[in-house]
Amino acid sequence: MPRGTVRPARDLCSDCGLCDSRWVAYVRRACAFLHQRFERMEAEVHGRSRDLEQPDELYFGVFRRMLAARLEPALDGAQWTGIVSTLGARALEQGLVDAVLCVRQSADDRFTPEPVLARTPAEVLAARVNKPTLSNNLSVLEQLPGSGIRRLLAIGVGCQIQALRAVQDSLGLEELYVLGLPCVDNVSREGLQTFLDSTSRSPETVVHYEFMQDFRIHFRHADGHGETVPFFGLDTPRLKDVFAPSCLSCFDYVNAGADLVVGYMGAPFGWQWIVVRNDRGERLLSLVEELLTTRPVQSTGDRRQAVQQGIEAYDRALRLPLWLAEVVGWFVQRFGPTGLEYARFSIDSHFTRNALWLRRHHPDRVEDHLPAFARRIVGQYRLPTE
Ligand code: FAD
Ligand code: SF4
Ligand code: SF4
């Protein structure tokens, strides 16, 4: 079946790849955009669903422990310090799994993802760094039958992991480990170009970028020089429609179904943020823990006023002049939320925007599509009424 032929979620499809495999047969109950099943997924994977009365679980999902960590020395060319790729490589070296599902770049474009079932540590390391575009990860499930792979480590973002969890019992695997990445605001390859063109001074030379905890976007260019742009200076009118509809209706920012999550947003600037959700997550982390410098997570500031102001500014598609964006950025960086409070800032900002988007573009889906935890988070704010 040619890729992309079947897409029951239509415009909301994130191209997770399930429909390009024989497991398309399960799409009605597996697709994150046709059927939300957070509570059931959490209960099946972690033994219970998240406790909505527990403030950290409401935001970050079921967890055993959280920490901030850095791989030292950092893995050259990784997105942050390379904890994810190092862990994937060690899972193969130490015989925990037979293969790692990860995403390398296509031969002719740094930002075009190419999912792969890596069988050697070198292949996992070659897949380091984000390809910040929608990736067809689950299409490689099609290669499982007859491959001899019995134990798999899957690395992926929330929508991919939701679908994977829904079909995992029918994959014929003895063991499945899941290393999740937090994810938000993903784009198609064309959407990425619009973003780069409107944000960077030299879009054609960007090789790496990240939205960081200092409220700036950090670009790295091919010659090694860096460029930073304040969030508040983004060309909101032009960028409002750049994100994929799937991502404008997604509430799985923190990858609720993963065993272990490795991101950055709950950690201080320069550090990675690790969330261990269950025993399998502990097992995964133990592969690299001796290589990490760690510190406890922390949280300072109060995000709420900034989130409320951001909802109104975004809705009116305001664009600040660069000098003002720099001044706002300077204040927020010094006095704004840090650590877990920064993560809550980002979750609140995206969930309110997405709830509004869903209400306007798919009013009939709001009831089904907004999970209980997101409903509660969004309920803390005033949303525009029209
Ligand atoms: P590396 O060792 O460099 O490994 C990166 C891994 O990412 C590789 O294993 C690769 O297989 C995988 N990967 C690359 N592109 C994709 C893709 N498109 N889909 C699925 N897997 C992919 N963290 C946050 O805290 N907040 C965010 O808002 C956030 N947004 C993200 C958005 C996207 C699209 C992606 C891919 C990641 C995002 N992350 C976010 C995670 C973060 O940017 C880092 O990937 C993570 O901290 C791991 O860093 P590392 O240096 O350990 O990874
Ligand atoms: Fe199929 Fe995945 Fe798209 Fe849903 S998101 S329609 S499962 S490819
Ligand atoms: Fe998938 Fe959500 Fe990330 Fe979009 S934002 S790629 S829907 S996890």
Does ligand 3 come within 6 angstroms of the Cβ of 135?
A: no
Q: Give CA–CA dist 272/75, Å, rounded.
A: 13
Q: What is the mean pLDDT of the chain?
A: 93
Give the ligand with the smallest distance to the CA of 85. Answer: 1
CB 101 within 8 A of CB 155: yes
Alpha carbon of 130 to ligand 1 centroid (Å) = 5
Does ligand 3 come within 6 angstroms of the Cβ of 250?
A: yes
Give the ligand with the smallest distance to the CA of 262. Answer: 1
pLDDT of residue 175: 98
Q: Model-level pTM?
A: 0.95
Q: b vs e for 223-256, b when ≥16 Cβ sit within 10 Å of the residue's Cβ?
A: eeeebebbbbbbebeebeebbbbbbbbbbbbbbb
Calculated CA dihedral for residues 293, 255, 217, 323, nearest 10 degrees: -120
pLDDT digits (tens, 9 = 90+) for 19-52: 999 999 999 999 999 988 999 999 999 999 999 9
- Residue 40 phi, psi (nearest 5): -65, -45
pLDDT of residue 213: 83
pLDDT of residue 201: 92
Atom of ligand 3 nearest to the CA of 246: 7
Segments in the chain below pLDDT 70: 1-2, 317-321, 325, 327-329, 331, 334, 386
Atom of ligand 3 nearest to the CA of 250: 2
